[in-house]
Amino acid sequence: MAAPILQDTYRHQGQRRALVRELRQRGIYAEPVLAALAAVPRHLFFPPAFEAHAYQDKAFPIGEGQTISQPYTVAYQTQLLGVQPTDHVLEVGTGSGYQCAVLLQLTPHVDSIEFNEVLYGRTRQLLADLGAEAATLHRGDGSLGLPDRAPFDCILVTAGAPGLPPALLRQLRVGGRLVIPVGDSNTQRMVRVTREGPESFIREEFEDFRFVPLLGASGWKQ
């Protein structure tokens, strides 16, 4: 019964190519990131009844109060992260698994952590069905990171945080990058933090976005 859901047709591939052209026009220039979005069948992360929305550049609800981020946001964050093929990446907020699948196109070394137990179970099965077993998925408080798996070259947070989680900063390798939306519950500024030394960090600020809240000890309380 799952086979029709997991089909990736020429029509889907053409829709992805059109989406990539749109993202390029909006300022996404990193070719590996564009290639990753062209490779990942976003429609497979949607309920079949809503497949028609999959290649529109917009966010979409996935249940449990969460959304699948719009492709531009995924591309923008991934471009800021600057993932290299040997990088060890931590994704905070697995959600639908779409961003995780994009990261796996750039490096096989991906850990992803999800706060919501329902989404964790659903997405773990979906990624397995898609052959994306390279990702190591975890269930827990992403604002605390994964100290047992640290250090990370890149950390990507896919939910809005009230500030920079100290645990995530500590888990960055020297030279590593954290990309995270920071702000209030309405609007967040995209921030990139690069670790220069044991106690030295460079903070850069970029565009404003709207994300679902990061839950946890260093996020918003549930």
Instruction: Indicate which residues carry an active-site annotation.
Output: 69
**For 91, which DSSP code?**
E
Q: How far apart are the first and last CA of the chain?
A: 36
What does the alpha-carbon distance between residue 26 and residue 19 come to, in Å, rounded to a whole number?
Answer: 11
What does the alpha-carbon distance between residue 26 and residue 64 come to, in Å, rounded to a whole number?
Answer: 30
**β-strand partners of 154:** 89, 177
Identify the burial level of 137 via C-beta atoms within 10 angstroms of its C-beta, where 0-12 means exposed, 13-18 middle and 19 or more buried: buried
212's CB contacts (< 8 A; 6+ apart) are 65, 66, 67, 159, 160
Q: What are the C-alpha distances in Å from 83 to residues 30, 38, 91?
A: 11, 17, 12
Q: Which helix (H) or strand (E) holds 89?
A: strand 89-92
Nearest residue to 213 (alpha-carbon basis) of 92, 75, 97: 92
The three-class DSSP label of residue 54 is coil
